[in-house]
Amino acid sequence: MNKIEEQIIRTEQELKQESRRLARLKNRKAYYENGERQKRAHRLITRGAAIESNAPSVKKMSEVEFYELAEKIFALPEVKNLIAKEVK
């Protein structure tokens, strides 16, 4: 076997190794991204549940009505001040 053939074989092996390494990195990236999505979904669900438990009548609202109400509530100066104070 000549040197060129040996180099081709070695390069093909390195390519396979790098392909497997890339696949592992992609899997790790997907795992972390999915984890963040799951955390966000959990947070949204629990906060939505908190709203419904404090204001049960919102269950009867359409999505549009609910968003309009939320926009009005969060536009109130006292609500803005409370949020700003709690976030600090």
pLDDT tens, per residue, the chain with 88 residues: 799 999 999 999 999 999 999 999 999 998 888 888 888 999 999 999 999 999 999 999 999 999 999 999 999 999 999 999 998 7
* In a shared domain, residues 42 and 65: no
Find out whether 59 and 52 touch, Cβ atoms under 8 Å.
Answer: yes
The pLDDT value recorded for residue 16 is: 95
pLDDT given at position 87: 86
Number of domains composing the chain? 2
Instruction: Specify whether the CB–CB gap between 36 and 42 falls below 8 A.
Output: no
- Mark whether 22 and 50 lie in a shared domain: yes
> Domain limits at 38?
1-54
25, 62: one domain: no
C-alpha 52: how far from its chain's center? Answer: 23
Q: Is 4 left (phi over 0), alpha (psi -120 to 50) or beta?
A: alpha
Both 41 and 76 in one domain: the answer is no
Residues 27 and 66 in one domain: no
Residue written as tokens 């984890």?
35
